[in-house]
Amino acid sequence: MDEKTLMVKIPINSNEYYLVENRQEYAYSETLYADMEMGVIVYVDGGQWDYFLPGSGLLIWHIDEQVIDENWATNTVNADASRKGVDLEEADGVQDFDGWVQGSSYEIYGNEYDAFFSPHNDSFAPRTTPSTADNDGGFTGMYVVDVSGSGNSMSARIQRGGDEQFKPRDDFPLSLGDTSGFGTNSVAVWDEDGQSRIVVAGRGGELYVVGNDVTTLSTGDTILSSPLVCGDSVIVVTRDGWWYTWTRDSATVFDLGEGPFYSSPAAGDIDGDGTVEFVVGSDDMWLYFVDNGEVVTKKFLGDVIRTSPAIADLNGDGADEVIVSVGDSRLFVFNGRGDILPGFPVVTEVLGPLCASPVVGDLDADGEFELVALSMDGRVHCYNVSGDPESYWPAVIGQPGSPSPALGDIDRDGYLEVVVLAGGNLYAFNHNGTICTGFPVEIKKVPLYQSPWVSDVIIGGWPADTIVPCSSPVLVDIEGDGYLEILFGSGTNLCAYDYLGNELEGFPLGCGGAVSATPSILVRGDTLRLFAASDEGMLYSWEVTGNRDTRAVWPMFRGDLLHSGSYLGTSPFPPTPAAVLLKDVYNYPNPVHGARTTLRYYLAADATVRVRIFDVAGEVVGEYEGRTTPNEYNEMLLNLDALATGLYIYKIEAKSSTRSEEVIGKLAIVR
């Protein structure tokens, strides 16, 4: 940076950026006119105020336009020290200007090491202190490094992306115009003629198709559902019931129904004729079956349908069934003729009008599909194809989950896990309803005002400060090691965790605006590309290269371009029993302050399980029969209400047809 370059602007996202400037502690002699008080210079004429700087070098300012806009009128732009509108990135890593240390001048004037210069503080990067994270803690991929020594002319290298795994792609982020935001719409991505194509719908009624360029298609109506891709066609349903189909060469539209439509369409071979049909639900309580651009049948379900249907051949007859939940707690399964299958509808406790959409998969690898649905009372339900609840379900999450779940074998145990986002937590459940090791994971809460599309409809009566705007999760094996990573939008960040609930290095990725649209993953050869859209109309993309074993297992909203919501087949890893029959035994909480504790253990084979509790005198004071799912973690609730405060011993015994094992542990009751 020489004397002709006043300042360099480095964009971070749609709201934030860095300003880099060279500031030197001097004044030109021909313009220096000083007033002296007690031998101290207190005024310099000619505007040469940098004479009073404590040091010289590159100053880097972090600007947040959203904070400035919201607080300018009240003169509180920098009132929140954790999120300033104008913040000096102090190179020495000590935030003097927020210190308010009595007797120190640093919090007013700073010090000579607040500027960047060699050989002292010559790098500003993701892993330095301070770092280039955005104001929500998101990774930006920005580097200002190799800063030269201080002088009238200074140099530095500015780049996006370094040695991190997920590198920001060139030409991204893309601003897709003056939209009303993407809201809960998803990003769909596919490969066509060797070229990546991305489609995302804006709430303002625009549909954006991104390839070598951006094609904008306008519906003139609000879009609340996610676009579907079938072959070379892109399909979207607007709020007021207009069904749009676009191809490269044509566009068609017809009036579907009264609406409003929150449900996203799903596609499959519903009538078994070898071609694709479509189905979508509406607030007018009708479930619409669409073929060849017209409604061929519709079913009145008696309550609003805001969830997206799932599509799968449940009975192996060559035709897909339709699985859909409605607002009055019923779960339906239809065949292609619109007939309800025996055993349905299933009535859960409280499904609710905006509960998460159902998903379908063979969770326990027994050759039969299971149906998974979430209810507004904070439960995850699981049913077989006859409508019977699976043993040990439902699992309790405590708060409603509105994002659609994902299915995949995240831990290579041979069974599918259910991945759910609800109430500010990330959950992963084993096929028998027990929580996976390392979960739940608490997600950073973000104020709702940052997501303009989170309303009282979505909150559903729950307190606003308990709701974290989240997308649906996607699942991918990034390393090619068989273990799946979980990616999702939360607040203004794109988050990622491994199968043990650990946050991936380099995450969260910052997106500036709320990421309630489900991200999407495309794998081509040894390259993985990740796409995410913020509610402010920005499309982001990152890339990972070098691993040909990468697998996209549940790569987008509802699992695929057709929104089937189904995992076909089973895990590629066969179940492998542990060497011991009984392991990883513990109870939580411990000490026990209430009346109950949960005993958790891994059972390697089909066996009977008995639990006995002894007092310090060796007397049996409690006896229980345990859960017996083989090759899986099991949990059982122990009621200790009748026991007094004290120390107790528990013995858990497992007996199979070939062997028996026991484990002894301690638990304390404190009341």
Q: 544-585, pLDDT tens digit by residue?
A: 887 778 889 999 999 999 999 999 988 999 888 788 999 999
State pTM to two decimals: 0.88
Tokens 């309303």 correspond to: 455
Cβ atoms within 10 Å, residue 21: 15
SS3 161: coil
Amino acid residing at 477: D
| Mean pLDDT score, 636-663 | 95
**pLDDT at site 247:** 86
CB-based burial label for 3 (10 Å; 0-12, 13-18, 19+) = exposed
Top-confidence residue, 615 or 42: 615
| Mean pLDDT score, 181-194 | 74
Q: Which CATH number fits domain 582-669: 2.60.40.1220, 2.30.130.10, 3.30.565.10, 3.90.960.10?
A: 2.60.40.1220
Instruction: Please check the confidence at residue 451 and state whether its pLDDT lies above 50.
Output: no
**pLDDT at site 355:** 65
CA 364 to CA 374: how far, in whole Å?
Answer: 19
CA 555 to CA 356: how far, in whole Å?
Answer: 18
Q: Name the nearest CA neighbour of 653 among 596, 614, 595, 616.
A: 614
Mode of pairing for the β-strands spanning 359-361 and 566-567: parallel
Top-confidence residue, 401 or 182: 401
pLDDT bracket for residue 450 (50, 70, 90): very low
**pLDDT at site 352:** 53
CA 65 to CA 68: how far, in whole Å?
Answer: 5
Top-confidence residue, 68 or 465: 68
Cβ atoms within 10 Å, residue 291: 17
Phi first, then psi: give them for residue 69, nearest 5 degrees: -60, -40
At the second CATH level, the architecture of 168-567 is 7 Propeller (2.130)
Question: Is 51:75 a contact under the CB 8 Å cutoff?
Answer: no
- Kindly state the percentage of the chain with pLDDT values over 70: 88
Among 393-402, 458-467, 479-488, name the most confident range.
Answer: 479-488
CA 455 to CA 464: how far, in whole Å?
Answer: 9
Domain range annotation of the chain: 7-164, 168-567, 582-669
Distant-in-sequence, close-in-space partners of 318: CB < 8 Å, separation ≥ 6: 269, 272
| Mean pLDDT score, 370-392 | 92
Question: Is 524:151 a contact under the CB 8 Å cutoff?
Answer: no
Question: Is 165:190 a contact under the CB 8 Å cutoff?
Answer: no
448 is written with which tokens?
A: 């709702």
CA 157 to CA 142: how far, in whole Å?
Answer: 11
Instruction: Please check the confidence at residue 34 and state whether its pLDDT lies above 80.
Output: no
Per-residue pLDDT tens digits for 336-360: 888 999 999 998 765 555 468 999 9
Distant-in-sequence, close-in-space partners of 656: CB < 8 Å, separation ≥ 6: 581, 605, 606, 607
CB-based burial label for 370 (10 Å; 0-12, 13-18, 19+) = buried
**pLDDT at site 265:** 95
Instruction: Please check the confidence at residue 446 and state whether its pLDDT lies above 60.
Output: no
Question: Is 381:389 a contact under the CB 8 Å cutoff?
Answer: yes
| Mean pLDDT score, 23-33 | 68
**pLDDT at site 526:** 85
**pLDDT at site 463:** 45
| Mean pLDDT score, 489-504 | 92
Per-residue pLDDT tens digits for 274-308: 999 999 999 999 999 999 889 999 999 999 999 99
Q: What's the chain's average pLDDT?
A: 87
CA 404 to CA 415: how far, in whole Å?
Answer: 20
| Mean pLDDT score, 126-140 | 92
Q: Which DSSP letter does residue 157 get?
A: E
Give the strand order in the sheet containing 406-408: 406-408, 417-422, 425-429, 441-442
**pLDDT at site 454:** 39
Tokens 């308010």 correspond to: 100
